[in-house]
Structure 1
Amino acid sequence: MVSPVFARLRPRPRLAALAVACVVGGLVAAAPALAATPDSGTVSDTSTSTQWTAGPFALANVTGTTGDVTCGPQLCDDFALHVSTPSGYGDSHQLTVKVGWANAAADFDIYLLDSKGAVVASSASSADPEVMVVPPTSGDYTVRVVPYAPLGESVTGTATLTDIAPNPAPSTATPPTYSQYGAPESFAQAHNAGEPSIGSSHKTGSTFYQALYDTYKATWDDSTIPSKVTWTDVSATPTNGCLTGGSTSLDPIGFTDPTTGRVFESQLAGKTSLMCWSDDEGKTWSPSQGGGINSGVDHQTVGGGPYSPNGIGALPTSTYPNAVYYCSQDIADASCASSHDGGTTFGPAVPMYSLLDCGGLHGHVKVAPDGTVYVPNKSCGGNQAVAVSEDGGTTWSVRKDPASTAGDSDPSVGIGSKGTVYMGYQAADGTPRIAVSRDKGKTWTDDQNVGASLGIHNTVFPAVVAGDDDRASFAFIGTTTGGNYQDATNFKGVWHLYVATTYDGGKSWVTVDTTPNDPVQRGSICTGGTTCGNDRNLLDFMDATVDRTGRVEVGYADGCTGTCAQPGGTQNFDAYATIARQQSGNTLYAAYDALPNLTPTTLSVAKTSGLYAATTTVANTGKAAASGVTTRLLVDGVNVATSSPVDLAAGRSTTVAFPGVRLGKGTHTVQVVVDPANSVKESDETDNSRQMQVLR
């Protein structure tokens, strides 16, 4: 899929001022751009920062939209940077290069070149400042400034050696496991599934995967391990009620309302979309207006959820209970339109932000349980941010995570059951980071690198979902190879699908490689739009959802299939429709946690030398391990002894023997109780005891 609009020509949309980029104050600027002052600088472990200025710039250089940047007089400016650091310095430090300017409507790009002229890092976005974060390796470098839309601006650059913030320890939770499910080869577009959407109907348990013109339904049989899947092609076409379906698209997007089960498929068509929806899981489809009047021309997203009590006139006009939102990019702003009749018609599009606030493509729209609407953005004043509406899309505000840096992939948000927001993003240094907000994006905490424990250096396509308020998962495609991942010639990284999960509200995360033996891509992945070569096979994003039992499901395109996936294989640039589905471990809903179940299955008493010794077999018949299990012996209701604590895996048992006791004449009740203090949460708390009568 190739979209002709400008946002696909660059990693982020650009201000529509390029045609007058040489005009300053209404006059053609004739003065040449000024070279960097000073023209060189050094940073070291004892002198950690250097600064320079350059400009004013009058001529625009847009050569990067069609390939490599071409420099010439006044079209680029170079600053020579020497880095001198001792061995091991990069273990706890990084080199941060920032270039900023005064007029937010202007736009500059920056590149870091090594001594041989190879690009080792870049920041070619609409962020102000542009930021690059790289290892502080000793050597000679060039910081190249390219005036994309200069508007007569000058720039100020800084190169600084900064401390790497310590990362919290990874979670000690048991890592969940995942199984991979590829669409049937009989589906005509199964290998043309770049930038997929995925959603789950909590009414039926069905999963819906949308890519290009196709909608696939997956139904699950969880009676076996791994689960079995049945795929059905339920794509919207003229024959099943969607007159606009299956024929044309500039961008596809899908959304499944989990509470109602309504499935939406949207195909971009300029300042609207060709949209249809289905209430019978794709058997039949109904037409939609497609978007709001004066919506944007690119990168649409569809979502929905409860109405906000603060919305103006935000009441349903049909029997459909939830609001539906259509958000999209335009040339100088991004907007969102709301529907009060289940997505059949939409009101006018309302601007969320302009390029004076944010550049870059936004992520998927998400709606909180209280009706607050969130649309994340990867570049708002150099930070990741969310555009937030607390009144049903009537007004919007941009709320930034000040600890974040702008990236090249759309960020993603997941919203917990009580409104906690988790924002996952690709940082300027390529690493996967996530932050948490408990006040609707006004402040952020626990911003951390969830790939550090596995040595992940580059990340694309963040996708976040949440369940209970303290549980969320962050899926991304990542590689342990550092460097410029968009260098199609020299980057040799191997990419996998990772999922990080928190069970403690974002304080700590456990991250797993869900495809350890099956690469998703080999070599470069381009996130730069239609200027890319064949390494844009995965397109711009992927998606994740949570099913009705809390299992995480990730919809992605597998770019490395067949012989490519074998050791030493060659990249084949596929885009195979695939779902990664959680197979084991705690889900995002605690009510469905796998729990142990402790029960004494045998009890015997033997007389030896006048003493009566009890022995019991304690079994864990549950689906999770139990730690610190103790067993207590009681005789005639009196506590006689308690065993030492042991750990007991699911499906395992252990023998507990108690010291012998003296019994008086008569009948005695001997009882054993497993977990007498109820310190272990179990699936059945009623079968922890066993007793017998002993006659002396």
Structure 2
Amino acid sequence: MRKNPLSESGFFNPRILMAVSLCSLGVSLAIFSFAATPSSGTLTDTSGPLTYGAGPFFVANPTPILFLDQGPECFGSAQPCDDYVLTATLPAGYTAMHPNASVKVTLGWTDAGSGASDYDLYIYRGIVHNTDGSQAADYQSASSANPEIATISPLSDGTHQYTLKIVPYTPTGENVHVIIELLSGSGGGGTPGFGGPDPTMPNVPRYQNFYAPAGTSAESSDGEFNIGFNPHSGRIMTMNIGPIWRLTPPERLNPAKPECCESLWEDKSALTTNIGLDPILFTDQHTGRTFASNSTVGANAVYAYSDNDGDSWIEAGFSPPDGGVDHESIGSGPYPASLSALVNEINHGQAVYYCSQDIVGPAACQRSDTLGASYGPGVLAYDGITTQCGGLHGHVHVAPNGTVWLPVGHCGGTQGGALSTDGGTTWNEFLVTGSRPQINGADPSVAIDSNNIAYFCYVNNEPVPPNSAPEGHVHVKVSTDGGQTWIRDVDIGASHGVKNAVHTEAVGGSA
């Protein structure tokens, strides 16, 4: 599911259209653009943070080109990129004492136009100037977020050079500002100490990191990562830009290994979804069936499902073409009590929902009573005209009582969404009181626990002093009455100093 507030899917791309329309203006204004000031700097364990600025930018460089480039195209004034050479010098023994040390690079700007400006950050090892799109960056932050934050990790002792490239994807005359910090204890570029693993203790749940095999399609950083887990086999299904990879954890191998080793990675791609525009993967937790889609034309094309973790795929869906065209989401869950007569041996009591929205305004959802083999007609969840909610939505989730939730980040002056208590036959709008839309935070998420309590997780546009960088804190509000009222607003990142978050996703369980 594309996360950018302006869709990058299909043949109509507002972000690229804006970039192209600005090119003619940029030709006459390019002379007033300035390179990085200063153009280089040295970061050490005693230097403190480095800062530099660049701009203003008027000429758009809408690269990398999807499916063609591995990195940005930077060449002269026609494809402008701003370069800064960073020298990082660490004394002997530093990384042994600080194994989670990282360099955090933050790129920010104040929009000077209509709010559509977009800049991306790419970091290369060594000194790299002109690029033709074939050179993938070693580190990057290329989304629609402001600020963009990239992390150089792991580090090593001695002196190393990096080239920081700023790509004016959609400029409207902004000056950008960059902060470079050495963080001694963080593995993720956040507050020092945040993001590192907790000590392992017997019989206590923990996280494990699995790393894609080098040089494979599983390693691609393009697209938007999706994870599905089959509780029956214990396997993990992943999808990024198109290829689907299956992970078998070490304890599930034959012979089994301890829970300390790398998973077995296997390419289990479906041919029909291997290339597309909007990758989405979802695994039904009751049956273990995995669904994959990579299309902007609905559930009737570029769609597949598997009952054996990708060993084989049914690469077809039967659906009327009256859903949305972008930003699809697939979810499943039990039928509401009013539709219990639809439960049969084919669907195993699970209704499957395929929701997607048009480029602007409305969104529609379709229900499958055949466990995703076919879908019924699309029903509008919201239209953006008679409803306050409009535009992009988050992932569709289904509660244990069969209520279908579709979160939306822009509902007038708040965030909210649409829900259905009759299996997607009709939809009602809900508004999360006290929330404020935050365009860089992208889509909110709704988690529902075993008692049907809803947890709305969203990025809130925080009030900040004039001329200060925007802050989008991650919040959660709770509803115990099916979205009618919302209580207990909690800034869940406050304890660790998290000032900006994007692309939240929440999951509900049982107490």
For normalisation by structure 1, the TM-score amounts to: 0.42
Aligned to 2:14: 9
CA offsets 1:25-52 (integer angstroms, 9 cap, x no match):
xxxxxxxxxxxxxxxxxxxxxxxxxxxx
> Would the aligned equivalents of 1:317 and 1:340 in 2 still touch at CA under 8 Å?
no
Q: Which residue of 1 aligns with 2:241?
A: 212
Residues 211-255 of structure 1 show CA distances to partners (whole Å, capped at 9, x for unaligned) of 222111112235645454221111112xxxxxx342x31211111
2:404 to 360, 370, 373: 373
1:101 corresponds to: none
The 5 Å alignment of 1:116-131 reads: 119=110, 124=115
1:425 corresponds, among 448, 458, 462, to 458
Give the AA of the match of 2:414: N
Residue type at the aligned position of 1:252: P
Map of 1:364 onto structure 2 = 395
- Structure 1's 298 and 5: CA in aligned 2 closer, same or farther, altered over 3 A? farther
1:322 maps to what in 2? 350
Deviation at 1:68, TM superposition (A): 10
Question: Does residue 1:233 correspond to 2:262, yes or no?
Answer: no
Secondary structure at 2:209 match in 1: strand
- Measured at CA, do residues 224 and 367 of structure 1 come closer, stay the same or move farther in structure 2, by a change above 3 Å? same
Partner deviation per Cα, 1:429-482 (whole Å, 9 max, x = no partner):
3111111111221111111211111111111110111211x4xxxxxxxxxxxx
Shift of 1:416: 0.8
2: CA distance, partners of 1:364 / 1:303:
8
- The residue number in structure 1 matching 2:314 is 286
- Answering whether residue 410 of structure 2 is matched by residue 411 of structure 1, we say no
Is the 2:357–2:391 contact (alpha carbons within 8 Å) kept by the matching residues of 1? no
> Matches of residues 118-157 of structure 1 in structure 2 within 5 Å?
119=110, 124=115
Matches within 5 A, 1:530-679: none
- Partners of 1:253 and 1:318 lie apart in 2 by 23
Give the partner amino acid of 2:9.
S
State how far apart, in whole Å, the 1-side matches of 2:206 and 2:23 are. Answer: 41
| Alignment CA distance shift 1:317-1:177 (3 Å) | closer
Residue type at the aligned position of 1:384? Q
- The residue type paired with residue 195 of structure 1 is E
Look at both structures and tell me which one has the larger radius of gyration over its CA atoms: 1
Q: Say whether the 8 Å CA contact 2:244–2:267 is kept in structure 1.
A: yes
Aligned AA (1:265):
A
1:348 is matched with 377
Cα deviation per residue 1:545-595 (whole Å; 9 max; x = unaligned)? Answer: xxxxxxxxxxxxxxxxxxxxxxxxxxxxxxxxxxxxxxxxxxxxxxxxxxx
- Counterpart residue number, 1:450: 492
Instruction: Pick from 384, 388, 407 the counterpart of residue 415 of structure 2.
Output: 384
Deviations 1:56-110 (A, max 9, x none): xxxxxx9589569989xxxxxxxxxxxxxxxxxxxxxxxxxxxxxxxxxxxxxxx
SS in 1 for 2:9: coil
- C-alpha distance in structure 2 between counterparts of 1:421 and 1:399, whole Å: 12
- The answer to whether the 8 A contact 2:223-2:279 is kept is no
Amino acid at match of 1:209: T
Tell me whether 1:467 sits opposite 2:509 in the alignment: yes
Is residue 183 from structure 1 mapped to residue 212 from structure 2 by the alignment? yes
350, 366, 389: which one pairs with 1:337? 366
Structure 1, residues 307-347: CA drift from partner, whole Å, max 9, x if none? 11224974448354311110000143100000000111100
User: Structure 2: how far apart are the matches of 1:187 and 1:293?
Assistant: 35
Would the alpha carbon gap of residues 65 and 385 (structure 1) be closer, same or farther in structure 2, given more than 3 Å must change? farther
Q: Is the 8 A contact 1:215 1:236 kept in 2?
A: yes
What are the Cα deviations for residues 234-285 of structure 1, in whole angstroms up to 9, with x where unaligned? 1112xxxxxx342x31211111001211011112143444111111111111
Q: Distance in 2 between matches of 1:297 and 1:224?
A: 45
Task: Give the 3 Å change call, closer, same or farther, for CA 192–305 of structure 1 in structure 2.
Answer: same
The separation in 2 between residues aligned to 1:420 and 1:333, in whole angstroms, is: 27
TM-score by length of 2: 0.57
AA aligned opposite 2:233: T
Report the CA distance shift for 1:249/1:260 in structure 2 as closer, same or farther (over 3 A): same
Q: Distance in 1 between matches of 2:285 and 2:232?
A: 7
Distance 1:266 1:63, change over 3 A: closer
Amino acid at match of 1:4: G
- The 3-state SS of whatever aligns with 2:234 is coil
Residue 229 to residue 271, structure 1, CA distance change in 2 (3 Å): closer
Cα offset, 1:293, TM superposition: 3.0
The change in CA–CA distance for 1:227 and 1:414 in structure 2 (over 3 A counts) is: farther
Q: Greater share of helix residues, 1 or 2?
A: 2
Q: Which residue matches 1:553?
A: none
- Unpaired runs of 5+ in structure 1? 12-61, 72-117, 126-133, 135-145, 147-173, 238-243, 471-696
Q: Give identity over the alignment, percent.
A: 36
Alpha carbons 1:324, 1:342 under 8 Å: kept: yes
Measured after TM superposition, the shift of residue 207 of structure 1 is: 1.2
Aligned 8 A contact 2:354 2:367 in 1? yes
In the alignment, is the contact (CA less than 8 A) between 1:311 and 1:392 conserved in 2? yes
Cα–Cα, structure 1 residues 465 and 291, in superposed 2: closer, same or farther, change >3 Å? farther
Q: Tell me, which stretches of 5 or more residues in structure 2 are unaligned?
A: 3-7, 27-108, 117-146, 148-171, 173-197, 200-204, 252-256, 462-470
Query: Is 1:310 paired with 2:316?
Result: no
CA RMSD of aligned residues (A): 3.2
SS of alignment partner, residue 324 of structure 1: strand
On the 8 A contact 1:303/1:366 being kept in 2, the answer is yes
1:275–1:290 Cα contact (<8 Å) kept: no
Q: Is the 8 A contact 2:211 2:262 kept in 1?
A: no
1:436 to 461, 474, 478: 478
Count, aligned residues: 320
- Report what 1:256 is aligned to: 283
Whether contact under 8 Å (1:202, 1:261) holds in the other structure is: yes
Equivalent-residue separation in structure 2 for 1:254 and 1:391 (angstroms): 25
Which amino acid is 1:411 matched to?
Answer: P
